[in-house]
Amino acid sequence: MGEEVRIERDSMGPVEVPANAYYGASTQRAVLNFPISGLRFPPRFIHALGLIKLAAAQVNVELGLLDPRIGDAIVRAAQEVVDGRLDDQFVVDIFQTGSGTSTNMNANEVIANRATELLGGKLGSHLVHPNDHVNPGQSSNDVIPTAIHLSALLAMRDELLPPLATLRRALRAKAREFWDVIKTGRTHLQDATPIRLGQEFLGYAGQIEHGIRRLRQAQEELSWVALGGTAVGTGMNAHPEFASRVCARLSELAGVTVRETEDHFLAQSTLDAVVHASGALRTVAVGLGKIANDVRWLASGPRAGLGELALPEVQPGSSIMPGKVNPVIPESVVQVVAQVLGNDATVALAGQGGYFELNTMVPVAAYNLLQSVSLLGAAAANFTEQCIRGLQATERGPLLLEQGLALATALAPVIGYDAAARIAQEAARSGRTIREVARERTSLSEGELSRILDPASMVGGGGPPEA
């Protein structure tokens, strides 16, 4: 459409490329071949890929495999990728070649052309060559899986684990705040024996704590990377020390542990570590969904529902009903949960895409894994700040407790199960309390009834949790 172009060449011949683009022929072919979705690798992935190229150039110079002047230009160009200054140059659709070769070449071409420019050359001149200079010791088949692992490690560290830790602390703070609020427990959505509201929140904090532990395990799995296997895991055309040195450099640069896999054939033919990490994210999501749903149920009403919690009022809830306030923050959380569960299903199916020496559903697995990390981190942070911190306990839980039929459970060891059941049934029919019926149907004194039916004696010992 009249846009200025230049001619770049690859092994298949000449291709017209936008004149000012840093990418080249291979990338342009991929743009034309995959006009599918408009979805791109997230910046987190691209920056991790740039970091791999940067470390590879440094190591190749150290090993005497790359001219220092060219290597320095590659490092400078790759740093611009890491810093996000060239994000707009990564233009290949997620739904592309299953190995991610198009995106690996996108990175090679962008870095090569930018390095060429830094050396005073013209774009497309191949003064710095995308394959010969940027890609030595590498293959898309080991670089792209390594970029998935590295980007996921960084995303978990920066975007997800801190908000989850903050949410856990907020839930434990509410457990302490609500410790003296004794209310009716519920099993099967029916009244059960008493529980402290603080104990419920202690359970929620435990879910998040265990989710964090599972994510730490996933990080350990992700720390082993495929780099060094090149095409099929044999390491052909890679220096024997290349991968171990690059991994050491990446660990230093990124601040996360990255290690060369002990089994390259496993690392390149499967996405097992990615599937495992997605499973850990799914578990965290399910836990968040349980907490969000409990909170909105406990806050239901406020008069025709449970009404045991009061939610922070963050926005009007209805366009027609004045004064209505909805649990919009928990609702946003459960929608994120649904998305993460769908992402996990996609990652699991992608994990089945390993045929012989290569998995060919790598890009879509990366996209969904990283989206899940980002969504969960953002949802956890928002849930903490706009909902959990502002929750208040109402009087309704303790007031309903005296009317609860499950208090008859405390009578069973004294008068027997059947007699206690008859008292509960009579209380249900008459609308009276367990205490009132037991006063008529048993010989227990008022003092004995007060002791036996004291809710505080039914919720276990121990004090509120520490910070």
Pairwise CA distance, residues 6 & 453, whole Å:
86
Is the bond preceding residue 302 a cis peptide, omega within 30 degrees?
yes
CA 261, 143, 363: angle at the middle one, nearest 5? 110
- Cα–Cα distance, 70 to 119 (Å, whole number): 8
Collect all residues with Cβ–Cβ distance below 8 Å to 178 and sequence separation of at least 6. Answer: 196, 197, 198, 200, 201, 393
Q: Please count the helices (runs of H) and the strands (runs of E) in the chain.
A: 17, 10
8 Å CB contact between 276 and 351 = no
HSE-CB of 422 using CA atoms within 13 angstroms: 8
Active site residue 318: yes
Listed residue (81, 86, 82, 59) closest to 71, CA to CA: 59
Q: Which of 139, 140, 149, 188 is catalytic?
A: 188
Tell me which amino acid residue 224 is.
W
d(C-alpha 246, C-alpha 55), whole Å:
6
Element housing 432 (H / E) = none
Known catalytic residue: 188? Answer: yes
158 exposed, middle or buried (CB, 10 Å; 0-12, 13-18, 19+)? middle
Considering only CA atoms, which of 340, 313, 339, 337 is closest in space to residue 325? 313
Considering the candidates 125, 210, 276, 318, report the single residue annotated as catalytic.
318
| Secondary structure E strands in 308-372 | 309-310, 354-355, 358-359
Strand partners, 194: 184
Q: Provide the token pair at 422.
A: 């008859």
Structure tokens at 285: 């999501």
Residue numbers annotated as active site: 188, 318
